[in-house]
């Protein structure tokens, strides 16, 4: 068990286990006492290094200054003043502390962390040499190498929605005092020792995924653009959607993408829990959790079902997407480049209730839903299953719908090829024009060229709009609501 906890990088539990074993030693095991002492000191060193390594250079110097005043002999009888020559780095510091104070160096470190107001590090250490049962985390709640706090340890904070234009992604603002906090919208967690204020917005992984896969990673959580306005965040924890029970060596198989002015940086995670990937002393910009590409763990998904009303048949598109808030704004509803990116269910004349099930390997049922007749009425502009694809009424005397939302369509339609196919099939584009537009390097360039070809022909714009309604229904519905 000690070896397992060491491999899982849980020095706090390793230390607790050894101290518990010491108390339960029997007389016949007296010959193992020297070995037990060595094991205890090794666990103490690992435990202290785990916490001291989280101090930045200035805090490390402050920690050493707190060591210099001699404590009372009744509290720390072995404490002495150490010369600077003995402490060149953090490893030297821990070695000297353990040599002088043994297991008492843990309580000594706790005392210094209290003076430094580092409550976050204080929680990583047992509260006393004799009271190991007071530690807040038990062996049964170990989460594969991370010091995971219960959700009740985090104070939920409701963000404020900043005013944005209809064509921009919403931005959220947050403020907090010192402590441990969690955003109620994004699930983002942060630890601070002073008042902080920051803002964030959800971003799309589209445009980043190919680069990440070339470096051996895939997205494991939402991509967030974070800017700190005031104060300093000591640790940030990004939400992820991976089932960690299937992931070996969590810290090695998770990383954090940091997109800054100098390009992509893959940072090593300092903490991985069942729900979050953590970084200490983070530098903020565009951040997102990543998982190793070379294993396929189970992931948490939302099931979205869309159907087309006012038809005699029933055709449903069933999407499985990770719980990424940014995907709610993405018109393709896909986390990667898979094609098709949905399951299609077609029933010619549905006249009774039926069930949808999602099965894992070996027929393990992982999702179930009953679809009732009333969920897909044959008439009406909306239904219980998803978004409406009701035809948008175009008044000839007013600006056409596609002209009114030209720039938004150019920016948000990413899968242009099906649109081009529809325009070609409906004789809006000739073969030569179709080939020329397809050869353009970006979706924005392709759409601008499509608009230039449509010109003032409202009939062609009507066809273009009907194709967008079929291929991008939730985008058109979103724009329709904003009219």
**Mean pLDDT, range 293-304, rounded to an integer:** 84
Residue 370 tokens read as 């009953």
User: Alpha-carbon dihedral of residues 455, 461, 467, 468, nearest 10 degrees?
Assistant: 80
More confident residue, 442 or 72: 442
Query: Dihedrals φ, ψ of 229, to 5°?
Result: -95, -40
pLDDT of res. 31: 39
pLDDT digit string (tens) for 12-22? 676 666 656 55
Confidence of residue 354 (pLDDT cuts 50, 70, 90): confident
SS3 state of residue 271: strand
Instruction: Return d(Cα 11, Cα 145) in angstroms, integer.
Output: 9
Instruction: Return d(Cα 91, Cα 232) in angstroms, integer.
Output: 27
Q: Which residues contact 411 (CB under 8 A, 6 or more apart)?
A: 167, 444
pLDDT digit string (tens) for 82-118? 555 566 788 888 888 887 777 778 888 888 888 887 8
More confident residue, 35 or 446: 446
**Mean pLDDT, range 435-454, rounded to an integer:** 87
Q: Which of 42-51, 104-113, 382-391 has the lowest mean pLDDT?
A: 382-391
Instruction: Return d(Cα 420, Cα 422) in angstroms, integer.
Output: 5
pLDDT of res. 364: 73
- In the chain, pLDDT over 70 holds for what percent of residues? 72
pLDDT digit string (tens) for 186-242? 999 999 999 999 999 998 888 888 888 888 999 999 999 999 999 999 999 999 999
Instruction: Return d(Cα 472, Cα 233) in angstroms, integer.
Output: 40
> b/e map of 321-343 (b: 16 or more CB within 10 Å)?
bbbbbbbebbbbbbbeeeeebbe
Q: What is the CA radius of gyration of the chain?
A: 29
> DSSP of 410-478, one letter per residue?
HHH----HHHHHHHHHTTSS-HHHHHHHHTSSSHHHHHHHHHHHHTT-HHHHHHHHHHHHHHSHHHHHH
DSSP 231: S
More confident residue, 98 or 182: 182
pLDDT digit string (tens) for 336-349? 555 567 788 888 87
Which residues on neighbouring strands pair with residue 157, listed in sequence order?
183
Asked if residue 266 lies in contact with residue 290, where contact means CB atoms within 8 angstroms, the answer is yes
- The CA-CA-CA angle for residues 32, 38, 42, to 5°, reads 140
Residue 327, pLDDT above cutoff 80: no
Residue 468 tokens read as 């967008």
151-292 has the same fold as 2-132: no
Residue 451, pLDDT above cutoff 90: no
Asked if residue 376 lies in contact with residue 435, where contact means CB atoms within 8 angstroms, the answer is no
pLDDT digit string (tens) for 133-181? 333 222 222 233 333 445 557 898 989 888 655 556 788 999 999 999 9
Confidence of residue 398 (pLDDT cuts 50, 70, 90): low
Q: How many residues does the chain have?
A: 483
Tell me what the pLDDT averaged over the chain comes to: 75
- In the chain, pLDDT over 90 holds for what percent of residues? 16
- The CA-CA-CA angle for residues 126, 132, 134, to 5°, reads 75
Q: CATH 1.10.533.10: does it fit domain 401-482?
A: yes
Q: Which of 32-36, 207-211, 412-416 has the lowest mean pLDDT?
A: 32-36
pLDDT of res. 18: 64
Environment class of 5 (CB within 10 Å of its CB; exposed 0-12, middle 13-18, buried 19+)? buried
Instruction: Return d(Cα 33, Cα 455) in angstroms, integer.
Output: 89
Q: What is the CATH number of domain 2-132?
A: 1.10.533.10
pLDDT of res. 378: 58
> DSSP of 283-338, one letter per residue?
PPSEEEEEEETT----B--EEEEEE--S-SSEEEEEEEE-S-GGGGG-TT--SSS-
pLDDT of res. 445: 87
Domain positions in the chain: 2-132, 151-292, 302-375, 401-482
Confidence of residue 456 (pLDDT cuts 50, 70, 90): low
Q: CATH 2.60.220: does it fit domain 151-292?
A: yes
pLDDT of res. 256: 93
Residue 272 tokens read as 């991985």
């Amino acid at each position: 068990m000690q070896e397992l906890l060491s491999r899982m990088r849980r020095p706090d539990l390793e230390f607790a286990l050894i101290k518990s074993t010491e108390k339960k030693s029997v007389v016949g095991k007296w010959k193992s006492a020297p070995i037990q002492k060595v094991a205890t000191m090794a666990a103490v060193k690992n435990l202290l290094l785990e916490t001291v390594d989280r101090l930045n250079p200035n805090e490390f110097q402050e920690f050493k200054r707190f060591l210099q005043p001699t404590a009372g002999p009744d509290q720390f009888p072995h404490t002495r003043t150490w010369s600077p020559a003995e402490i060149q780095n953090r490893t030297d510091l821990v070695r000297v502390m353990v040599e002088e104070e043994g297991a008492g160096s843990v309580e000594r470190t706790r005392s210094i962390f209290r003076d430094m107001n580092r409550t976050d590090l204080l929680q990583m250490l047992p509260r006393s040499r004799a009271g190991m049962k007071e530690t807040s985390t038990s062996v049964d709640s170990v989460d594969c190498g991370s010091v995971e706090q219960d959700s009740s340890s985090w104070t939920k904070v409701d963000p404020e929605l900043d005013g944005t234009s209809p064509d921009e992604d919403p931005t959220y603002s947050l403020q907090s005092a010192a402590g441990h906090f969690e955003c109620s919208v994004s699930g983002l967690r942060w630890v601070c020792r002073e008042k902080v204020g920051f803002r964030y917005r959800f971003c799309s992984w589209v445009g980043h995924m190919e680069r990440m896969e070339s470096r051996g990673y895939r997205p494991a959580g939402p991509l967030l653009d974070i800017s700190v306005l005031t104060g300093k965040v000591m640790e940030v924890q990004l939400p992820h959607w991976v089932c960690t029970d299937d992931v070996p060596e969590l810290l090695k198989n998770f990383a954090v993408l940091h997109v800054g002015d100098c390009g992509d940086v893959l940072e090593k995670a300092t903490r991985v829990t069942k729900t979050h990937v953590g970084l200490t002393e983070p530098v903020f910009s565009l951040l997102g959790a990543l998982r190793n590409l070379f294993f396929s763990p189970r992931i948490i998904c939302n099931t979205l079902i869309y159907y087309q009303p006012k038809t005699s048949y029933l055709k449903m598109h069933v999407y499985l997407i990770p719980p990424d808030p940014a995907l709610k704004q993405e018109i393709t509803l896909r986390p990667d480049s898979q094609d098709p990116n949905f399951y299609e269910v077609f029933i010619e004349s549905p006249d009774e209730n039926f069930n949808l099930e999602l099965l894992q390997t070996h027929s393990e049922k992982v999702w179930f839903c009953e679809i009732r007749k009333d969920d897909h009425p044959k008439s009406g502009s909306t239904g219980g299953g998803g978004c409406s694809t009701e035809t948008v009424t175009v008044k000839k005397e007013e600006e056409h719908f596609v002209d009114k939302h030209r720039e938004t369509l150019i920016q948000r339609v990413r899968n242009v090829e099906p649109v081009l196919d529809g325009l070609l099939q409906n004789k809006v584009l000739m073969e030569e024009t179709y080939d020329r537009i397809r050869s353009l390097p970006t979706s924005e360039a392709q759409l601008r060229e499509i608009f230039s070809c449509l010109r003032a022909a409202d009939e062609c714009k009507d066809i273009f709009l009907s194709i967008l309604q079929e291929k991008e229904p939730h985008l058109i519905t979103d724009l329709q609501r904003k009219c």
